[in-house]
Amino acid sequence: MKEIDWSNLSFGYMKTDYNVRCYYRDGKWGELELCSEETLNIHMAATCLHYGQEAFEGLKAYRGKDGKIRVFRPDANAERLQSTCRGILMPEFSTEKFCEAVRMVVKANERFIPPYESGASLYIRPLLIGTGAQVGVHPANEYLFVVFVTPVGPYFKGGFATNPYVIIREYDRAAPLGTGTFKVGGNYAASLRANKMAHDAGYASEFYLDAKEKKYIDECGAANFFGIKDNTYVTPLSTSILPSITNRSLMQLAEDMGMKVERRPIPEEELTTFEEAGACGTAAVISPIERIDDLENHKSYVISKDGKPGPISEKLYHKLRAIQYGDEPDPYGWVMIVD
């Protein structure tokens, strides 16, 4: 293979050697299989294509200074996938089998794991789809679980730097009791227009308010929101937000740093009171927020006065990354070492 320029990788797809597959037939999951094909051969009436029976996850593998390969919290991703399966009636994939599949695909593509000092990582994408043919609106009787990997650079080109965001009212990402808490493709399809509007206007991403009253901060297009003030980490409590594993980890770290943690509705006007704020998720870890503009109401909530990430966001970001790369001890048992 041609030499990869690790330090200039985009956050995109690159062909790797293998993916791992597992089929659900006759009421049970089969064995994990290693596959070198990039394409899937599925029936044109598969439920994933017509009725959105599709779920995915995102996690990363890191190469440490010690040469060891670490995967961050795969068990938490397995649990979230199981929750999605219950939500859209797909058979659950066990945590044990999920972690085994992740281990297998990382090991098989070891040469694509970026070196320690490159700032890049190996992105892992598990995917579960309904493959059984169905014309009526019913769950499929056959499913396919796939995990593929690709080396990626930072999600935002500037890396750990502040970004401007914009509140978009014309669209909702998910309904209050819809699929917002599940990681299904439909939520992302619903965010594409608002995301394009934000990008076209020069923003990093869009921000959604709650779909019911349009009063509370819900989440960023593909990430959770958190705000920091008075030594407190505040993050929205909502029935339409995806439970972010990164956010969960940051809450734990904030608590252990002696901060108070609050999960509650955050009214839009409270944005004026935050000393720091960020969007958090697997891809960017933390994207510190410079400001959030509400164009419709001619308001701009400036969070970072000097345009730099705040000290607490910085501390949380570096602490989490240090655990992911094995630079600091992992007292939580978050890291799975692949050997």
- Residues with catalytic function: 183
How far, in Å, CA of 155 to CA of 89, rounded?
A: 32
CB 240 within 8 A of CB 174: yes
